[in-house]
């Protein structure tokens, strides 16, 4: 994890506990925990929406640790896999922490990686407790001002015991006492090696449950927050007390132009041809520039506190506008521009303390990183989105699957498998919803020109749909899979090798369901093979476009490429025709993957593809259009019109 994860602050007045757990805690549990422990801890964590986090190094250290008191002595790592989240930590941060505390470190230093992770989660707004019996992790954490709190494993178990039902509390407290005795014996055995007084004091202090472990973040009744709320309410047209209006002075009038942004966003319609989308983007960008200039000029003479108050109150408006601009740029295939807007949206979201807004912005940034093949960056962004989703109990499936894919492609196979295992648990709980979410994710991956990834995800969506016997869903998925097959290139096949095996862990079919699924996929593959053959009947003379496709039909844009002559080849797909290429004359065509094309009433010529184009794009034919003004490219109907409530 690097500082690029933007130090997010989740929403919610009260933060839930986040536990970062070291290897020794798992070792203690392996030797002493009864076979009821996993059941008990799951109850406690789910009831209070708490989370367990580790780094990959912990997996290495406890890989062979088993529950000694259980009948079959299962591995501790296997039993905990469904309830803990594994986050990779960047080696540079480990080395940086080692330098700051005056130690040498190897990239595999597990303790330092846990300290980095705990500090990162703390900065993101979690209430973090690092569980360790290594007192040095406490003292060095304080030295480096990392912000997290610590407690020994015995206290961790005791605090979970206090949150469980009475029938489970006794056995967890008994376990806590046994672990505490072991901790004390070990500490006392080292009395001649170092001064253990400070460690014993820390262990005893941690047992006092009423002792505040960290300062809870609550909504302050300070005048600053009251003024921010008063300014936001005034902008929303509500009445506020006169004393607040007096303190706000000219700020309500200065900030009033921001209201035109929400009015503009509310007026946007679903009419989204590529030309209209570009015009709307430019219009929105110009309006935002005008609004910020007007507000900035009036704020300039005021003092810093007034400017800070105004920027904080305007965060919601700016988040919505930047998100709209980012998604419009993304739908136009302008990845770098989209990333800039969405990063600004994320920054604004942190000012309004809105975890949903942050989660949405981070997810979109993750997709853009995927589009650029930045797998490590996309993994961190999706993992951040997943943590945000957990903090507000939002749907997590798409984020976890994307994180798993990204970690796999970045070479972190173990973490990828952990993500997919957690996704499997979610999918099992609701196959119908899972099918819809995975199909939507597949569409998003196709829209960023990642057909290889989309194909693997859509296969899993079809498995879920098959189990639900959803005929309409199956037909829609078959079309999507056919299009993903057509969009695949040799690079996709090579780059994503091994991904199929990973994603097979998302869902398991019965023997009969597996036979039906194989049959369905074979039908699609047979049709896909047919679509690789050139169209037999081509014509050199102009013919009505209806001879190729009806005026009501739409073609899905797979990709577009501009050649050295500035001519554009647009590769489109039709469920019956397969993939064909349209040569468009020199000019600026605002078209990108995921757009839909309607040809309209004009005339076309159809020629066989060159061997090079057929091999590269699986084209069945090349189309020339007599009147290109009749072409209508429509962007996907992405949700860029966001809610306008503060």
Instruction: Enumerate the domain spans of the chain.
Output: 3-206, 219-289+300-352, 354-429, 431-530, 539-634
Gap between the Cα atoms of 243 and 258, Å rounded: 24
- What distance in Å separates the CA atoms of residue 82 and residue 570, rounded to the nearest whole number? 45
- Which residues are registered as beta bridge partners of 580? 572
Cα dihedral 373→375→381→382 (10° resolution): 100
Question: Which of 434, 431, 385 lies closest to 406 in space, CA to CA?
Answer: 385
94 or 33, which is more confident?
33
- For residues 29-53, b (16+ Cβ closer than 10 Å) or e, as one string? bbebbeeebbebbeebbeeeebbbb
Does the structure show a pLDDT above 90 at 215?
A: no
Distance from C-alpha of 407 to C-alpha of 21, rounded to nearest angstrom: 21
Report d(CA 526, CA 535) in Å as an integer.
16
Region 560-569: mean pLDDT is: 80
* Residue 407 pLDDT grade (very low, low, confident, very high; cuts 50, 70, 90): very high
DSSP-derived letter for residue 273 is B
CA neighbor of 284 nearest in space, from 343, 342, 219, 329: 329
Q: Does domain 354-429 have CATH number 1.25.40.10?
A: yes
Cα–chain center distance at 26: 29
Which two tokens mark 36?
């009821």
User: 223 falls in which pLDDT band (50, 70, 90)?
Assistant: low
Distance of alpha carbon 613 from alpha carbon 548, whole angstroms: 20
Q: How far are the Cα atoms of 83, 121, 204, 219, 232 from residue 241, in angstroms, in the given order? A: 49, 39, 50, 20, 13
Kindly give the residue spans of alpha helices, DSSP state H, lying in 352-429. 355-371, 375-391, 397-409, 413-429
Q: What confidence tier does 494 reach under pLDDT thresholds 50, 70, 90?
A: low
Sort 418 into a burial class: Cβ within 10 Å, 0-12 / 13-18 / 19+: buried
Q: How many CA atoms lie within 13 A of 273 on its CB side?
A: 11
CATH topology of domain 3-206: Rossmann fold (3.40.50)
CA distances from 103 to 136, 151, 411 (A): 12, 23, 28
**219 pLDDT tier (thresholds 50, 70, 90):** very low
Find the DSSP H helices in 449-489: 451-468, 471-487
Q: Token match 């196709």: residue?
A: 446
Identify which of 549, 559, 592, 535 has the alpha carbon closest to the alpha carbon of residue 487: 559
Supply the pLDDT for residue 590.
74
CA angle at residue 419 from 154 to 434, to 5 degrees?
Answer: 120
User: Is pLDDT of 501 > 70?
Assistant: yes
Task: Give dist(CA 576, CA 570) in Å, integer.
Answer: 18
State both tokens at 411: 């070479």
The fraction of the chain above a pLDDT of 90, given in percent, is 22
**Cα 218 to the center of its chain, rounded Å:** 27
Same fold across 3-206 and 539-634: no
Of 18 and 591, the structure prediction assigns the larger pLDDT to 18
CA distance linking residue 405 with residue 191, whole number of Å: 48
* pLDDT tens-digit readout, 279-293: 888 899 999 999 999
Class of domain 539-634: mainly beta
Residue 560 bridge partners (DSSP):
570
Condensed to tens digits (0 to 9), the pLDDT of residues 428-440 reads 989 999 999 999 9
pLDDT higher than threshold 60 for residue 3 = no
CA-to-CA distance for 448 and 335, rounded, in angstroms? 9
Q: pLDDT category, 558, cuts 50, 70, 90?
A: confident
The span from the CA of 580 to the CA of 623, in Å, is 7
φ/ψ region of 526 (left if φ > 0, alpha if ψ in -120 to 50, else beta) reads: alpha
Q: How confident is the model at residue 491 (pLDDT cuts 50, 70, 90)?
A: low
Per-residue pLDDT averaged across 4-27, rounded? 62
354 CB neighbour count, 10 Å cutoff = 23
Task: Classify residue 174 by its DSSP letter.
Answer: H
Distance from C-alpha of 437 to C-alpha of 427, rounded to nearest angstrom: 10
In the predicted structure, residue 493 carries a pLDDT above the cut 50: yes
pLDDT in tens, 326-382: 888 887 778 888 888 888 888 787 777 677 888 888 898 999 899 888 999 999 999
Residues 538-550, mean pLDDT to the nearest whole number: 88
Give the whole-angstrom CA distance, residue 437 versus residue 423: 12
- The pLDDT mean for the chain works out to 81
Higher pLDDT, 76 or 215: 76
β-bridge partners, 557? 572
- Residue labelled with tokens 């960056």: 377
Q: Which CA distances in Å does 596 have to 125, 290, 521, 559, 585? A: 41, 33, 25, 11, 19
Q: Is 600 exposed, middle or buried (0-12, 13-18, 19+ CB in 10 A)?
A: middle
Alpha-helical runs (H) found in 102-256: 110-123, 135-143, 153-161, 166-189, 197-206, 223-235, 242-248, 251-255
More confident residue, 343 or 399: 399
Residue-level pLDDT at 427: 93
Question: Residue 319: exposed, middle, or buried by beta-carbon count in 10 A (0-12, 13-18, 19+)?
Answer: buried
């Amino acid at each position: 994890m690097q500082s690029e994860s933007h130090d997010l602050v989740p929403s919610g007045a009260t933060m839930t506990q986040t536990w970062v757990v070291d290897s020794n805690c798992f070792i203690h549990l392996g030797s002493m925990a009864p076979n009821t422990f996993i059941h008990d801890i799951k109850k406690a964590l789910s009831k209070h929406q708490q989370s367990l986090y580790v780094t990959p190094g912990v997996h290495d250290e406890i890989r062979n640790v088993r529950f000694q008191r259980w009948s079959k002595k299962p591995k501790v790592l296997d039993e905990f896999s469904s309830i803990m989240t594994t986050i990779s930590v960047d080696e540079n941060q480990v080395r940086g922490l080692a330098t700051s505390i005056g130690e040498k470190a190897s990239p595999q230093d597990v303790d330092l990686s846990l300290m980095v992770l705990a500090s990162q989660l703390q900065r993101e707004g979690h209430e973090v407790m690092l569980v360790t019996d290594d007192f040095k992790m406490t003292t060095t954490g304080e030295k480096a001002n990392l912000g997290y709190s610590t407690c020994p494993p015995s206290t961790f178990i005791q605090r979970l015991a206090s949150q469980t039902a009475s029938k489970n509390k006794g056995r967890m407290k008994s376990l806590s006492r046994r672990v505490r005795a072991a901790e004390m014996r070990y500490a006392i055995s080292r009395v001649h090696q170092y001064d253990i007084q400070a460690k014993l004091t820390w262990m005893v202090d941690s047992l006092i449950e009423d002792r505040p472990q960290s300062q809870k973040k609550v909504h302050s009744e300070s005048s600053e927050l009251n003024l921010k709320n008063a300014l936001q309410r005034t902008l929303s047209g509500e009445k506020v007390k006169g004393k607040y209006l007096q303190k706000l002075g000219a700020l309500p009038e200065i900030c009033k132009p921001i209201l035109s942004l929400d009015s503009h966003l509310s007026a946007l319609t679903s009419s989204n041809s590529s030309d209209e989308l570009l015009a709307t983007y430019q219009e929105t960008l110009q309006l935002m520039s005008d609004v910020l200039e007007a507000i900035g000029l009036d704020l300039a003479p005021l003092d810093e506190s007034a400017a800070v108050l105004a920027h904080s109150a305007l965060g919601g408006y700016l988040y919505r506008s930047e998100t709209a601009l980012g998604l419009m740029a993304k739908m136009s295939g302008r990845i770098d521009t989209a990333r800039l807007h969405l990063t600004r949206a994320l920054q604004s979201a942190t000012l309004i303390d809105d975890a949903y807004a942050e989660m949405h912005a981070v997810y979109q940034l993750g997709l853009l990183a995927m589009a650029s093949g930045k797998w490590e960056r996309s993994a961190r962004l999706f993992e951040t989105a997943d943590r945000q989703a957990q903090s507000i109990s939002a749907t997590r499936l798409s984020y976890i699957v994307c994180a798993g894919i990204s970690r796999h492609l970045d070479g972190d196979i173990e973490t990828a498998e952990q993500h997919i295992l957690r996704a499997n648990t979610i999918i099992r709980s609701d196959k119908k919803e899972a099918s819809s979410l995975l199909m939507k994710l597949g569409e998003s991956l196709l829209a960023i020109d990642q057909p290889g990834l989309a194909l693997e995800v859509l296969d899993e969506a079809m498995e879920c749909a098959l189990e639900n016997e959803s005929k309409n869903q199956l037909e829609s998925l078959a079309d999507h899979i056919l299009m993903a097959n057509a969009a695949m290139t040799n690079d996709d096949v090579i780059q994503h090798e091994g991904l199929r095996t990973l994603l097979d862990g998302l869902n398991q079919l019965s023997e009969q369901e597996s036979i039906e699924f194989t049959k369905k996929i074979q039908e699609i593959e047979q049709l896909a093979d047919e679509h690789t053959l050139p169209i037999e009947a081509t014509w050199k003379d102009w013919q009505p476009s209806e001879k190729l496709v009806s005026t009501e039909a739409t073609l899905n844009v797979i990709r577009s490429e501009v050649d050295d002559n500035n001519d554009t080849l647009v590769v489109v797909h039709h469920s019956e025709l397969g993939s064909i290429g349209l040569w468009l004359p020199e000019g600026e065509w605002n078209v990108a993957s995921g757009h839909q094309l309607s040809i309209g009433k004009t005339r076309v010529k159809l020629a066989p593809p060159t061997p090079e184009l057929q091999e590269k794009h699986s084209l069945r034919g090349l189309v020339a259009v007599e009147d290109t003004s009749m072409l209508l490219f429509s962007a996907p109907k992405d949700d860029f019109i966001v809610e306008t409530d503060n």
